[in-house]
Amino acid sequence: MATRLELADAQWRRVSPKQIGVEIFGLVIVVVLAGAAAAFAYFLGFGFLTVIFGAAAVASLISATLVPRRVRAYGYLLRDDDLLFRRGLLFQRFVAVPYGRMQLVDITRGPLARMMGLADLKLVTAAATSGVSIPGLTEPDAAELRDRLVELAETRRVGL
């Protein structure tokens, strides 16, 4: 019988704390747009739209308070045969991506992330639901991790 993995003692690698600013900035844009839409709907006399857009603005503000903790929950771990990624506060997600199953390792940079020197690393396998994106890596860390994962994937190709 297989034993359960002990992940609590593992040396998880964290994403950059600058990712907090990137995510909060995105939520601020949502708050401003939803607030403007709520005000516009109010002046036009559409009360139900005012409530909907106002609720969206308030929900985004509440979500912004959770961003620092949510970003601290991101982590990845390079193991012997796979990369393990975790995220989530209330609903935690752990995804193991075997090196031999990786088909694509991609780096993306949005405008704000680029200004802050950050990048997202995306891993794609043949399975439709197994795509993993690690946000908030520094650009050098993302490039180094990409190169390492490509090297590991090439040595462990499965079924090719």
**Same domain, residue pair 24 and 37:** yes
Report d(CA 9, CA 109) in Å as an integer.
32
Q: What is the pLDDT of residues 125-143, one digit of tens each?
A: 877 666 789 999 999 999 9
Q: What is the pLDDT of residues 26-63, one digit of tens each?
A: 999 999 999 999 999 999 988 899 999 999 999 999 99
Q: Tell me the percentage of the chain whose pLDDT exceeds 70.
A: 90
pLDDT of residue 154: 84
**Domain membership flag for residue 116:** yes
pLDDT of residue 149: 92
pLDDT of residue 80: 87
pLDDT of residue 156: 75
Report d(CA 61, CA 92) in Å as an integer.
22
pLDDT of residue 118: 96
pLDDT of residue 134: 94
Q: What is the 3-state secondary structure (H, E, C) of 68-111?
A: HHHHHHCEEEECCCEEEEEECCCCCEEEEEEHHHEEEEEEECCH
Contacts (Cβ under 8 Å, ≥6 apart) of 132: 83, 85, 95, 97, 122, 123
pLDDT of residue 90: 87
Contacts (Cβ under 8 Å, ≥6 apart) of 146: 105, 106, 107, 121
Number of domains in the chain: 2
pLDDT of residue 67: 94
pLDDT of residue 146: 94
Residue 4 pLDDT level (bands cut at 50, 70, 90): low
Please, what is the average pLDDT of the chain? 88
**Same domain, residue pair 84 and 147:** yes
CATH number of the structural domain spanning residue 107: 2.30.29
- Whole domain around residue 80: which residue ranges? 75-155
- The DSSP code for 13 is B
| Domain edge (last residue) among 44, 71, 98 | 71
Q: What is the pLDDT of residues 91-110, one digit of tens each?
A: 988 888 888 888 889 999 99
18 in Cβ contact with 136 (< 8 Å)? yes
**Same domain, residue pair 97 and 119:** yes
pLDDT of residue 5: 61
**Same domain, residue pair 116 and 141:** yes
pLDDT of residue 72: 94
**Domain membership flag for residue 91:** yes
99 in Cβ contact with 82 (< 8 Å)? yes
**Domain membership flag for residue 6:** no
